[in-house]
Amino acid sequence: MNALLDLSEEVREAMGRGAPVVALESTIISHGMPYPRNAETAIAVEAEVRASGAVPATVAIIGGRLKAGLSESEIGLLGERGHAVAKVSRRDIGRIVAAKADGATTVAGTMIVAAMAGIKVFATGGIGGVHRGAELTMDVSADLDELGRTDVAVVCAGAKSILDIPMTLEYLETKGVPVVVYRGDEFPAFYTSRSGLRAELRMDSAAEIAAMLKAKWSLGLSGGAVIANPIPTEYEMKPDVINAAIEKALAEAKAAGVRGKDVTPFMLAKVKDLTGGDSLESNIALVMNNARLAAALATEYARL
pLDDT band at 264 (very low <50, low <70, confident <90, very high): confident
Cα 228–230–233 angle (5° rounding)? 180
Would you say residue 213 has pLDDT above 80? Answer: yes
pLDDT band at 108 (very low <50, low <70, confident <90, very high): very high
pLDDT for 296 equals 98
3-state secondary structure 15-68: HHCCCCEEEECCHHHHCCCCCCHHHHHHHHHHHHHHHCCCEEEEEEEECCEEEE
pLDDT for 259 equals 78
* Catalytic status, residue 236: no
Nearest to residue 171, comparing CAs of 145, 150, 203? 145
Q: What is the rounded CA–CA span in Å between residue 35 and residue 269?
A: 12
Q: Decide: 27 and 60 in contact? Cβ < 8 Å.
A: no
> How do residues 51-96 score in pLDDT, each as one tens digit?
999 999 999 999 999 999 999 999 999 999 999 999 999 999 999 9
pLDDT for 11 equals 98
Q: Is the peptide bond before 34 cis (omega within 30 degrees of 0)?
A: no
Would you say residue 148 has pLDDT above 80? Answer: yes
Would you say residue 120 has pLDDT above 90? Answer: yes
pLDDT for 288 equals 98
pLDDT for 118 equals 98
Mean pLDDT to the nearest integer, 217-228: 98
Would you say residue 261 has pLDDT above 80? Answer: no
**Which entry of 25, 74, 146, 300 is annotated as an active-site residue?**
25
Would you say residue 143 has pLDDT above 80? Answer: yes
pLDDT for 247 equals 85
Q: What is the rounded CA–CA span in Å between residue 235 and residue 8?
A: 33
pLDDT for 132 equals 85
pLDDT for 160 equals 79
pLDDT band at 272 (very low <50, low <70, confident <90, very high): confident
* Catalytic status, residue 270: no
Share of the chain above pLDDT 90, in %: 80
Q: Decide: 156 and 58 in contact? Cβ < 8 Å.
A: no
pLDDT band at 298 (very low <50, low <70, confident <90, very high): very high
Kind of pairing between the strands at 179-182 and 225-228: parallel
Segments making up each domain of the chain, as ranges? 5-303
Would you say residue 276 has pLDDT above 90? Answer: no
Q: How many CB atoms lie within 10 A of CB 218?
A: 9
Long-range contacts of 46-50, Cβ-Cβ distance < 8 Å, separation of 24 or more: 48/288, 48/291, 48/292, 48/295, 49/22, 49/24, 49/123, 49/291, 49/294, 49/295
pLDDT for 103 equals 98
Worst-scoring range by mean pLDDT, 140-154, 263-277, 280-294? 263-277
Query: Please, which residues bridge with residue 47 across strands?
Result: none
Q: What is the rounded CA–CA span in Å between residue 239 and residue 61?
A: 36
Nearest to residue 27, comparing CAs of 100, 99, 126? 126
3-state secondary structure the chain: CCCCEEECHHHHHHHHCCCCEEEECCHHHHCCCCCCHHHHHHHHHHHHHHHCCCEEEEEEEECCEEEECCCHHHHHHHHHHHHHCEEECHHHHHHHHHCCCCEEECHHHHHHHHHHHCCCEEECCCECCEECCHHHHCCECHHHHHHCCCCCEEEECEECCCECHHHHHHHHHHCCCCEEEECCCECCECCECCCCCECCCEECCHHHHHHHHHHHHHCCCCCCEEEECCCCCCCCCCHHHHHHHHHHHHHHHHHHCCCHHHHHHHHHHHHHHHCCCHHHHHHHHHHHHHHHHHHHHHHHHHHC
**Which entry of 67, 87, 120, 160 is annotated as an active-site residue?**
160
Fold (CATH) for 5-303: Indigoidine synthase fold (3.40.1790)
